[in-house]
């Protein structure tokens, strides 16, 4: 038997000698300036910025000084020609499947659609009649351009979003005209109540969105639509930008007409957003958040409306004084009733009851406080007169209480389910 040589154990290098060398990272390829320009094409944004700067520079927007009507009309016509060129170029690029540049152009057009240069508001400072006439034509042109944008994004015009965007643009173009007509008959003075009315129009828009668009999923994609990148982004921009522009116009009206801004102006918008959030979707995952927002936002609106406001914002109606606080309480009660119908929670019932109760007690915090103290005193007087003071009166109260308690016991018994009948078995049978 031959002895086999025992193989030597493998030698491992000592940790001091061996070092793990990481693989060399390849250097990232250098991107040339020309490739960046071709990929991202910044000239469209630069063009829009130049147009916007030219509008603000020519219409003296920094000091809001009036400019000649001819110059203003020229800028409006020039801007509309520019917008048509932007839409036409976007449609052409979409047909050639250059999607990124076309999407950028459609977003740029959405900004100019919502009167970002305040030209429609500026024309009313020259003449209210000319402003109404020009705004009517501009609104018709805006609806036509929105239709072109929707068709370019492959969104059908029968979509409820088209109706809602048109509604927003109509309110956006109408509010400056309404303010101008009201101020013209009051020596260029715009009452704070008129400004608050404009904010109520803005607050109606979230409710109108809920009624028209509802819970339409804007991420859906039908076979006739373009990929969601264009249709979704364009619809989102056109849904949001008119509202933001309307808020900017309303805030700017305080500066133009030298009207003091009151925090209660935001109350209608909060109430409308509460309804929209409550109906945003039907998913269980968002139910708690939607309930909290529909409870909290009306409360914040009431708190803003309770801040001191001028006497000019209160007007009599029948035997009541209508004030921003009283209107906010009534509308908040309606919003809470909507939440009760939607979520079936007792919190909304309590909140609605408190809103309607406080609305009936006064038009301001001070009047509500005075009336509550007066009601507490009168209630105490009534209880004092009704409280029994002699033994015979206590006996009469006890007899009445016995019948009341007997009735309550009968109601509870009738609400119970009858026990099943068990037949008794006779053990002696058989």
Q: What is the pLDDT along the chain (430 residues), one digit of tens a residue?
A: 455 555 555 555 555 544 555 565 666 666 566 766 777 788 888 998 998 888 877 766 545 556 777 888 888 899 999 999 999 999 999 988 888 899 999 999 998 998 877 787 778 777 778 888 888 899 999 999 999 999 998 889 999 999 999 999 999 999 988 888 888 888 888 888 999 999 999 999 999 999 998 765 443 444 444 445 688 888 889 999 999 999 998 998 888 888 888 999 999 999 999 999 999 888 888 899 999 999 999 999 999 999 888 888 888 887 788 999 999 999 999 999 999 999 999 999 999 999 999 999 988 888 888 888 887 887 777 777 777 878 888 888 888 889 999 998 898 888 877 777 666 555 555 4
Structure tokens at 113: 């659609």
Q: Are 190 and 183 in contact (CB under 8 A)?
A: yes
Residue 135 within a domain: yes
Q: Are 306 and 332 in contact (CB under 8 A)?
A: no
Q: Does 315 lie in the same domain as 236?
A: no
Whether the model clears a pTM of 0.85, i.e. scores above it, the answer is no
Domain that holds residue 160: 38-261
Q: How many folded domains does the chain comprise? A: 2
At residue 297, the pLDDT reads: 96
Q: Does 186 lie in the same domain as 56?
A: yes
Query: Given 3-state DSSP classes, what are the helix, strand and coil percentages for the chain, each rounded to the nearest 5?
Result: 70, 0, 30
3-state secondary structure of 270: helix
Give the CA distances from residue 64 to residues 56, 60, 256, in Å, rounded to whole numbers and listed in that order: 10, 6, 7
Q: Does 230 lie in the same domain as 128?
A: yes
Q: Which residue has the tokens 């609106």?
A: 301
Q: Are 137 and 76 in contact (CB under 8 A)?
A: no
Instruction: Choose one of 341, 363, 380: the last residue of a domain.
Output: 380
Q: Does 215 lie in the same domain as 334?
A: no
Q: Does 327 lie in the same domain as 195?
A: no
Residue 2 within a domain: no
Q: Does 331 lie in the same domain as 257?
A: no
Q: Are 242 and 168 in contact (CB under 8 A)?
A: yes
Q: Does 196 lie in the same domain as 160?
A: yes
Q: Are 222 and 231 in contact (CB under 8 A)?
A: no
């Amino acid at each position: 038997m031959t002895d086999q040589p025992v193989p030597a154990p493998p030698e491992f290098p000592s940790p001091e000698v061996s070092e793990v060398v990481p693989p060399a990272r390849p250097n990232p390829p250098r991107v040339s300036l020309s490739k960046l320009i071709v990929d991202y094409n910044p000239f469209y944004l630069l063009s829009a910025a130049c147009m916007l700067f030219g509008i603000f520079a020519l219409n003296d927007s920094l000091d809001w000084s009036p400019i000649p009507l001819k110059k203003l009309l020229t800028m409006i016509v020039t801007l509309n020609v520019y917008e048509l060129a932007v839409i036409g170029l976007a449609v052409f690029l979409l047909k050639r499947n250059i999607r990124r540049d076309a999407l950028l152009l459609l977003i740029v057009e959405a900004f100019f659609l919502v009167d970002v240069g305040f030209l429609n508001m500026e024309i009313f400072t020259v003449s209210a009649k000319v402003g109404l006439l020009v705004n009517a034509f501009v609104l018709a042109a805006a609806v036509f351009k929105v239709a072109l944008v929707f068709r370019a994004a492959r969104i059908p015009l029968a979509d409820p979003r088209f109706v809602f965007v048109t509604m927003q643009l109509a309110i956006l173009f109408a509010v400056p005209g309404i303010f101008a007509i009201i101020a013209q008959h009051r020596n260029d003075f715009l009452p704070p109540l008129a400004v608050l009315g404009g904010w109520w129009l803005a607050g109606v828009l979230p409710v109108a969105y809920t009624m028209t668009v509802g819970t339409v999923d804007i991420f859906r994609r039908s076979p006739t639509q373009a990929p969601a990148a264009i249709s979704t982004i364009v619809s989102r921009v056109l849904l949001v930008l008119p509202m933001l522009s309307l808020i900017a116009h309303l805030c700017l009206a305080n500066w133009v007409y030298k009207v003091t801004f009151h925090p209660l102006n935001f109350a209608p918008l909060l109430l409308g957003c509460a309804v929209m959030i409550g109906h945003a979707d039907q998913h269980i995952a968002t139910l708690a958040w939607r309930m909290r927002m529909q409870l909290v936002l009306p409360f914040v609106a009431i708190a803003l409306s309770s801040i001191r406001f001028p006497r000019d914002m209160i007007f009599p109606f029948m035997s009541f004084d209508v004030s921003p606080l009283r209107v906010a309480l009534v509308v908040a009660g309606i919003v809470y009733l909507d939440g009760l119908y939607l979520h079936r929670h007792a919190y909304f019932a309590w909140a609605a009851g408190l809103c309607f109760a406080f609305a009936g007690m006064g038009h301001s915090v001070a009047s509500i406080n005075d009336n509550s103290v007066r009601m507490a005193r009168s209630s105490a007087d009534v209880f004092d007169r009704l409280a029994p003071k002699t033994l015979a009166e206590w006996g009469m109260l006890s007899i009445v209480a016995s019948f009341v308690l007997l009735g309550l016991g009968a109601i509870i018994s009738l609400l119970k389910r009858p026990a099943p009948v068990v037949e008794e078995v006779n053990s002696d049978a058989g």
